[in-house]
Structure 1
Amino acid sequence: MPPRPGRPRRRLRALMAAATAITVLLGAVVGGIGWYFAGVAIEVERTAEYPLVVLDAGNDTVTLPRTATTERAGVWALAWAGGRALLGPVVGGDERRVVREVTSVLDGTLAKGTAAAIDHWMYDGDPEKALGLPFQDITYPSRVGPMPAWLLPGKTPESTWVIGVHGRNSDKAETFRVMRTVHKAGLPMMAIAYRNDVGAPSSRDGKNHLGNTEWQDVVSAMGYARAHGATGVVLYGWSMGGAMAMTTLRRDSSFVRGIVLDSPVLDWSATLDKQGDARNLPAPLIGVAKRVLEWRIGIDLADFDHRRYAPDLRTPVLLFTAADDTIVANGPAHTFAATAPPGMVTHIATPGDHTESWNVDPAVYERALAAFLEKVR
């Protein structure tokens, strides 16, 4: 008996239904992963992690597990819950352990068995506690409410001010490492908090907007500086703070005398690619996550490719990049420096990870910064 004419059609419908279901399921999975990855990028998160265990401590040394982080040269701090110490060079160890000099215990008690982490910010607290520098706790008005900041006085308010802008999910303490150099230059410095920081007003959705709205707080800080005597400003941005500084410059460069960028995000799309690759996400999935992110926070990622604006740069820039940056794609920064007009970008390329150029060689960093401030003040 020949097959019934309707049977192939029923089979085809079943196959089409199954294919549709699989497509919908795959779409949901891809969309879900994209939503999650986009959420990671915009989430406000400041959980402290202490991945190391102190193996021994005493006689002005500390023994730690040997890792790429604990054995490297440079100037670092060791942080733990309720404590902090400044570390000197490696003075001993073996294949499994590294012994470093402890130059100073700033807070707490450093003891065997303590959970700790290497901290490149170095200091904690406030400028007076950390560095012995006088300062004021101030607030500056912004579109979302009064914003806290530290104001370190210079020789006179009627001068160029430095405005320090920390990175994503960081805080004002990220600016400590350059305060002494700015202070020696005699310039006032504002280290600002911005929306969604601890102690600062939140954005309406409580999310990071990758600088797309946060740059408005930099403009507000500039307004405070101008109202209190500033004759111009140097914007100093770390990581996402660099994206905020560059966006501010593009919107209005008239009051900006110079820009300092430390491991800046000069192309969010490239940085998201880098972070997606680190999570072993395929390129199409990263692309989905970018579109989801743009929709969720209303950002045009193409607008944050600052390489496009380098040929028209008219404001001097001091740029620090770290060769081993695991967070931000620094290729765009190299391109930015190479395509800017001659003499507009001073590029200092160093070893180290994200925003660690100072830690790798403080003397080189501070000489470059002091010379730049003298040029643009």
Structure 2
Amino acid sequence: MTDRPSILSRLNALPKRKIARWGAVGYVVVVIAGAFIGAEIALRSKTKWVKGTFVPVGRRGNSVYLPASPETLSKGVIGMVPIAPNRGHALLGEAKLAGTLVRREILRERGRIPDGSVAWASTFVYNGTPAQLGVPFEPTVVHTDVGDMPAWFIPQLHGAGAAEKGDAIAIVIHGHGGQRAQALRMLPTLMESGVASLFVTFRNAYGAPRTGKGYLSLGDQEAEDVLHALAWAKERGFKRAVLYGFSMGGNIALCAVQRQDRWPIPVTGVILDCPALEWRDVMFSQGERYGLPRFLARPVARLTELIVTRRSGQNFDTVDQLAAAPKFTLPMLLFHGTRDRTIPVRQSDKLAALRPDLVEYHRVEGAKHIRCWNISPKEYDGALLRFIEKVLLGVKGG
């Protein structure tokens, strides 16, 4: 019986030109497919749900035991919300392995999460409205030229801090495919600072009005909705504001900052959490994240840019905040995690290096995308409080 030739020997027998042609075809297919997928994600990314995982809960006293998963094993603090018929919410401390399970201690609890219940666990901590924290709020809308944008208004607390900052409001802006609930982790500290808060959304995000084909503009047109949010604040009697942007929300905030001549009220500072500062670099980074070698990631990123521009008219220079850095005049508080695989930390490194006169930079070791708070809530909250105090103390409303 004759041995059949191996696959390797068959390949070696193929003409080199044929192999080269098939390699070239494969290269082109990967570049084109990757670019079209990347463009679709860039232009339309929204989801109804806050990212998390559903888990069965074992409880012994103040300890909970959860199945191991990327979410339950994440570094730092996570949140847990039981599904019906149970009610409540818990803040859980650092993960520790207990055999095949993950043990976390309950740091804070509202209601009661019983043993044997099923719960949603997430590094975003909350998945509802401010009511989930026991905080009174007003569901409202921000009127814009393209429709009404849903928002949550949280009035300032009464007290000495509020008396000093009673005319100030924080405009909180979620990111690409994000939800307002992702910033609820920071709400207690915003309230403690004495400012009111308006958690906004923007055109073509989940629950907001759709414009045209529903394409996002990566910060450019969405900044118009933030200007309208400032107008909403002015109508409510506020005289000054800080902008607080997460991921793409940071780019939106910086686009709004550059339209100072159209501010309805003064903006005195900007808070940025893992901001998307330069989208070409983000697209290149995403190619690498999903396993493309650099020689493929670069052409995929370039073609993605061309497709996005062709489909939506996007001007990538308009949303390049690193190029715009010399124009900035406002103080900034900047957080970015070293394990961020969505927006590379090198972007924030560069902004901090370009404008050390304006930027207070907290480079958080081990933090994933917009999870800097989770690694060290005390340090994050302390920096947030000090920054708000700095940019609002003694500023007179106009």
TM-score range, shorter chain: 0.7 to 0.9
Shift of 1:297: 2.1
Matches within 5 A, 1:74-153: 74-78=76-80, 85-90=90-95, 92-94=97-99, 96-103=100-107, 114=118, 118-127=121-130, 129-153=131-155
1:261 and 2:260 matched? no
- Contact 2:277 2:320 (8 Å CA) reproduced: yes
Cα distance change of structure 1 residues 199 and 20 upon mapping to structure 2, 3 Å threshold: same
Change (3 A) 1:64 1:132: closer
Out of 277, 300, 313, the residue aligned to residue 315 of structure 2 is 300
What is residue 171 of structure 1 aligned with on the other side?
179
8 A contact 1:52–1:65 mirrored in 2 = no
Q: Which runs of 5+ in 2 are unaligned?
A: 1-19, 157-161, 393-398
Cα distance in structure 1, aligned partners of 2:224 and 2:310: 20
Aligned to 1:161: 169
Q: Provide closer, same or farther for how the CA distance between residues 345 and 100 of structure 1 changes in structure 2, counting only shifts above 3 A.
A: same
- Displacement of 1:194: 1.6
- Give the TM-score of the pair, scaled to structure 1: 0.83
DSSP 3-state at the match of 2:72:
helix
Q: What secondary structure is seen at the aligned counterpart in 2 of 1:301?
A: coil
AA matched with 2:213: D
2:346 aligned partner: 331
Shift of 1:133: 2.4
Question: How far apart, CA to CA, are the structure 2 residues paired with 1:33 and 1:92?
Answer: 38
Q: Between the two proteins, what is the percent identity of the paired residues?
A: 29
Question: 1:276 corresponds to which letter in structure 2?
Answer: G
Q: 1:100 to 1:31 in 2, by over 3 A?
A: same
8 Å Cα contact 2:166-2:194 kept in structure 1: no
The AA in structure 1 aligned to 2:379 is V
Taking a change above 3 Å as real, the CA distance of residues 294 and 107 of structure 1, as seen in their structure-2 partners, is farther
* SS of aligned partner of 2:302: helix
Aligned counterpart, 2:65: 63
| Distance in 1 between residues matched to 2:94 and 2:31, nearest whole Å | 47
Cα distance change on mapping 1:225 and 1:55 into 2, 3 Å: closer
Using a 3 Å threshold, how does the CA distance of structure 1 residues 290 and 103 change in structure 2: closer, same or farther? Answer: same
Counterpart amino acid of 2:278?
D
Deviation at 1:164, TM superposition (A): 0.3
Q: Is the 8 A contact 1:193 1:200 kept in 2?
A: yes
Does the Cα contact within 8 Å between 1:34 and 1:289 map onto a contact in 2? yes
Deviations 1:132-167 (A, max 9, x none): 323212212112111221111124686221100011
Name the count of aligned residue pairs: 355
Aligned to 2:385: 370
Structure 1 alignment gaps of length 5 or more: 1-18
Contact 1:93 1:99 in 2 (8 A): yes
CA distance, structure 1, for counterparts of residue 48 and residue 239 of structure 2: 39
Residue number among 329, 333, 336 corresponding to 1:318 in the alignment: 333
Residue deviations 1:281-327 (CA, integer Å, cap 9, x gap): 31212321221122222212233221122233210000011111011
Deviation readout 1:59-102 (Å, 9 max, x if unpaired): 443333445643454211135765754312345513x4322224
Paired residues of 2:218 and 2:319 also in contact (CA < 8 A):
no
